[in-house]
Amino acid sequence: MESARKFAEQFTISLDSEMDFDGWRKAARTLALAGAPSSAVTFLTPSAASQFLFTEASSPLPQPAGDTTFNVSKIFVEKAQTASHHSDPDRYDFLYHLLVRVLDEPNLLRIASDSDIRRLEAMVKSVRRDAHKMHAFVRFRKVGEVDASDDEARYVAWFEPDHFIVEREAGFFMRRFAQMNWSILTPKGSIHWNRQTLTVGPPAKRSDAPAEDATEELWRTYFSNIFNPARLKVKAMQSEMPKKYWKNMPEAALIPDLIAGAENRAKAMVAAMPSVPPPTHAAIRDRHWKGAEMGETGNTLPPPANDLETLRKQAETCRLCPLHEPATQTVFGEGPADAPLVFVGEQPGDKEDISGQPFIGPAGQLFDATLQDAGIDRSTVYVTNAVKHFKFQPRGKFRLHQKPNGDEIQTCRWWLGQELKLIDPDLTVALGATAAQSLLGRSVAVTKERGRIVESDEGQRVFITVHPSFLLRIPDERRKADERARFRDDMIAVRELMAA
């Protein structure tokens, strides 16, 4: 190994502060360019240096042999910088060791199973966790008059982080409490904000921070009451809020008593006999719920309605088939009560189920556009569905349409029959097989009977065509255009039938 021979010499680099990442970076770059192996390099932070009786001056850096620059990935620099805040005294030596390896193996950072990478990731994780806990567990105490405005008051906190993160995390508190005066004091340095500038100060002592704040009494009240004694999980609490943080959290002193009393409180609740309702209960029942139980259950057919609005109301609570439970609501027909032309589709889709209106999803939009092309005024027609609840299969964030079965169509047929009876149109258009089956009471092959007018048992004229959603599902563009034209021709035929 050439470099090992060349560097029998040892380098010791003194850094300016615990967080002197830039100093490390500069020295590390020069040393790496000169080919110094990690075994030949030691970095000293002020705290490590103070353990020696004499202050050690930095060694003169070697002259670079060839290249004067090199590139490492941005992600390495970011991770190294984060890790440099770690309290591990060897962190800068380790980061240099890693730098030397990364120059040799550019993909090293992606090898999660490598032991050096695991160490780096663990350091990064530990610093991030400490930062996160600082965001969480810093407790400000207000200094000044109790009702002092935020212009006059100052909020001061004492916190003990594991790592050198205080300066690093100043931004979080500046963004959050930008319009407050605050200080965060720690044994590893302090930060002060006066609503305009940040000042970094030396390490502080606990006694520098205020000893109390009247609001803490309210906070403790909240903490002890939000706790459910029947769900005691002490380990879960401690893994997220280790005891080392407790001494600086005003609420933590309550924890031992809350735990000690929990079991008895939970047992007492279970053992207590149900009580007699207070007198207010009867008054509330009387005032708010009188007759509420008499309402429609939806489990049986209602008496036939005399108008469409009443029928719509009745349908809202329908539970005659199981489709009502997964669906959001009954999607009833829409349009003038005396419309001469009625369109019947299959069932509402995802959008219709949410909005409660028929034919507003993709198929509905295509239907609207086609009607317009064919010269039929949508506002004069009534649109409805054979089945009035959306039947679907959940798939993640989406719902896949499912065809209603014979029973469901048969059950919902009563509602469609009532709608048609009340509207009494000149012509009804069955869009697709489900609509045709519901209207004619038999299964219909749409491809065979398309364009025909069939008379239903109730004496209504029914025109049969496809459902617009069929047009949306055709993958082949040419065939799609052909089918759309055919559907438009059907609609023109319908218009002509109406004019005749």
Residue whose CB is less far from another protein, 224 or 456: 224
Shortest Å distance, C-beta 108 to another protein: 9
**Cβ neighbours of 445 (radius 10 Å):** 10
Please state the three-class secondary structure of 395-413 as a single string: ECCEEEECCCCHHHHHHHH
State how far the Cα of 162 lies from the Cα of 192, in Å rounded to an integer.
20
Shortest Å distance, C-beta 57 to another protein: 40
Contacts of 377 (CB under 8 A, 6+ apart): 371
Residue whose CB is less far from another protein, 170 or 241: 241
Q: Token match 């060897």: residue? A: 90
Q: Which among 337, 378, 336, 333 is positioned nearest to 356, based on CA atoms? A: 333
Residues facing residue 189 across a β-bridge: 186
Please check whether residue 144 is in contact with residue 154, taking contact to mean a CB–CB distance below 8 angstroms.
Answer: yes
Write the Ramachandran bin of 264: left for phi over 0, alpha for psi from -120 to 50, otherwise beta. Answer: alpha
- DSSP class of 303: P
Shortest Å distance, C-beta 273 to another protein: 8
Shortest Å distance, C-beta 65 to another protein: 29
For residue 431, give the amino acid letter. L
Shortest Å distance, C-beta 230 to another protein: 5
Shortest Å distance, C-beta 368 to another protein: 19
Residue whose CB is less far from another protein, 73 or 355: 355
Shortest Å distance, C-beta 476 to another protein: 29
Q: Which among 390, 371, 373, 376 is positioned nearest to 322, based on CA atoms? A: 390
Q: Token match 């609570």: residue? A: 317
Query: Beta strands 461-465 and 453-455: pairing type?
Result: antiparallel
Shortest Å distance, C-beta 115 to another protein: 7
Residue whose CB is less far from another protein, 235 or 442: 235
Shortest Å distance, C-beta 314 to another protein: 14
Residue whose CB is less far from another protein, 68 or 115: 115
Residue whose CB is less far from another protein, 259 or 369: 259
Determine which helix (DSSP H) or strand (DSSP E) holds 461, and give its type and residue range.
strand 461-465
Residue whose CB is less far from another protein, 68 or 297: 297
Shortest Å distance, C-beta 259 to another protein: 5
Shortest Å distance, C-beta 463 to another protein: 33
Residue whose CB is less far from another protein, 323 or 363: 323
Residue whose CB is less far from another protein, 257 or 457: 257
Q: Give φ, ψ of 428 to 5 degrees.
A: -120, 135
Residue whose CB is less far from another protein, 66 or 274: 274
Q: Give φ, ψ of 352 to 5 degrees.
A: -65, -40
Residue whose CB is less far from another protein, 4 or 75: 75
State how far the Cα of 158 lies from the Cα of 1, in Å rounded to an integer.
52
State how far the Cα of 56 lies from the Cα of 142, in Å rounded to an integer.
44
State how far the Cα of 184 lies from the Cα of 167, in Å rounded to an integer.
10
State how far the Cα of 121 lies from the Cα of 80, in Å rounded to an integer.
10
Shortest Å distance, C-beta 425 to another protein: 29
Residue whose CB is less far from another protein, 219 or 414: 219
Contacts of 338 (CB under 8 A, 6+ apart): 423
Buried/exposed 212-242: b ≥16 CB within 10 Å, e otherwise: ebeeeeeeeeebeeebebeebeeeeeeeebe
